[in-house]
Amino acid sequence: MRKAIYPGTFDPITLGHLDIIKRASTLVDQLEVVIMRNPNKSNSDFSVEERLEMISSVIQEFNNVTVSAQTGLTVEYAKVSGASILIRGIRAVMDYEYELQQATANMVLAPNIETVFLLTRPQYSFLSSSVVKQIAQNKGDLTPFVPSQVKEFIEKKYR
């Protein structure tokens, strides 16, 4: 069985994230979306529990996708969970430079775990959780950016 993890903060999950989940789920037997606490992104608007709820609501259609929340190094969690693949989305060159550094460090820490980069579809290349939060805070229409279940959740949060 080939297992992958797709780590991120998902604060909140976007249509871009969901697209990566859909595509990655076809490449592996089991995909675990993992909310990782990133010390560089310490100002999350949504609690871990809220993010778990949002992600759970959008992955129900996939029988091989689960979600969890973890701390520590992603590659160490991958080892413990039995994952042999880390999934990462790449939006632009700036993402690639950061992700290349992370993937290279992970290769040193765990040579048996591969990082697979999935290019973001062009319509999501600008999309980030930060953009979604900014739109929500200013009462903009979130429809083009997040799944409908998540849109309702975010709108309640910012009312």
- So what's the pLDDT on residue 38? 65
Judge contact between 84 and 4, C-beta under 8 A: yes
Q: What is the CATH number of the domain that holds 52?
A: 3.40.50.620
User: What stretches of 32-138 show up as alpha helix (H) in DSSP?
Assistant: 48-59, 74-81, 93-109, 129-137
Q: Are 4 and 113 in contact (CB under 8 A)?
A: no
Determine, yes or no, domain membership for 149: no
Note whether residue 100 is domain-resident: yes
By residue range, what is the domain housing residue 62? 3-126
Residue 154 domain-assigned (yes or no): no
Question: What are the catalytic residues?
Answer: 17, 41, 91, 129
Between CA 20 and CA 11 the distance in angstroms is 16
Whether the model pTM is above 0.85: yes
Does 34 reside within a domain?
A: yes
39, 119, 121 from 93: Cα distances, Å: 23, 11, 14
pLDDT reported for residue 22: 98
Total domain count for the chain?
1
Which pair of tokens denotes residue 129? Answer: 């959780």
Q: Collect all residues with Cβ–Cβ distance below 8 Å to 82 and sequence separation of at least 6.
A: 3
143 is a domain residue: no
Among 77, 87, 90, which Cα is nearest to 115's? 87
pLDDT-derived band at 77 (thresholds 50, 70, 90) equals very high
Over the stretch 22-74, which tens digit does the pLDDT of each residue have? 999 999 999 999 999 866 656 789 999 999 999 999 999 999 999 999 999 99
Structure tokens at 125: 């290349």
What pLDDT score was predicted for residue 159? 79
Q: How far apart are the first and last CA of the chain?
A: 44
| Under 8 Å between Cβ of 20 and 96 | no
